[in-house]
Amino acid sequence: MTVLWWVRGCPDHLVDAHASAGFTSVGPDVGARSGAVAVLAGPEPYSGDVLDSMPDLRCLARIGIGYDAVDLDAATERGILVTNTPDGPTTSTAEHAVALMMAVSHELTASANRLRAAAGDYVSRQNSMELNGRTLGLLGAGRIGGAVAVMAKAIGMNVLIADPAFDDGVELDELLAESDVLSIHAPATPSTIGLIDADALGAMKPGSILINCARGSIVDTDALVASLQSGHLMGAGLDVTEPEPLDPDHPLLQMDNVIVTPHIASNTTAGRARMESMAYEQVTMALAGSTPTQLLNPAVL
């Protein structure tokens, strides 16, 4: 019987499906790796050494869109097909980004904390930003960024886009200077890692907001802390950080004008089910001898 190795627990709604297809599902026991022919992978790293511990592996299917934790060259050298689920997390992640934007702009954390502390003087201490008529800058306008743009326009925001693949976009300098809210939806690549550094943050509008639901490595964490502490930025909403997770004593977790969630933007019930089902479909195609529709390393063929 074929072994399908799951890093995380196999959801009940898929157990019967792959069991009937002749798969045995096993958990994250290292001892199970040697018999695994497929992996439904979370965000954990897959280096050459990890792949070498799985000599029978034929397909690694990422549950999600990002694959920076997978060594594609190493997988290709070993004949392993690598796939992702680019359409799975779109709605959930876009909604999460907008939720962070609204929560930070309306100072929900600070206001709720003042109420819990019975601090009083609530109205005069509230200095929230109304988003209608404001400018949202999108760094990256793929599936998720595009969905955020639609939602932002629905609440009356103007939208600017900086994305090499977008014909009507603007340059990064203009995006930074004009945006009341900057929302990051770019992959982590050599050209984007560290892109939002001290200079970039300094070029943002005073009193603006940073949202990041992409990858923590795109933003210089120390520079972000400094910009928030100086009051240059109004606040930040982060689903991803560098490092990840943050130490419980990290300054970003102590600020009322910052909301940090633990890389769960795509993890709604519906979003998780979509991604897991899509990843399973990719595995099924690969093991049946077909070319997966979301193959990331076509050179392996």
C-alpha 200 chain-centroid distance: 21
Q: Under a CB-based contact definition with an 8 Å cutoff, are residues 271 and 88 in contact?
A: yes
Best CA proximity match to 194, nearest among 208, 184, 207, 206: 184
Query: How is residue 253 annotated by DSSP?
Result: G
Q: Which residues pair with 235 in a beta bridge?
A: 209
Calculated CA dihedral for residues 121, 123, 126, 127, nearest 10 degrees:
-130
The tokens 């689903």 sit on which residue? 239
Active site (catalytic) residues: 215, 244, 263
133/197 Cα distance (integer angstroms)? 27
Within 155-263, residue ranges assigned H as helices are 172-178, 198-203, 221-230
Burial of 27 (0-12, 13-18, 19+ CB in 10 A): exposed
271/269 Cα distance (integer angstroms)? 6
SS3 string, 4-15, reads: EEECCCCCHHHH
SS3 string, 156-179, reads: CCEEEEECCCCCCCCCHHHHHHHC
3-state secondary structure of 283: helix
**Per the structure block, which two tokens stand in for 116?**
């819990």
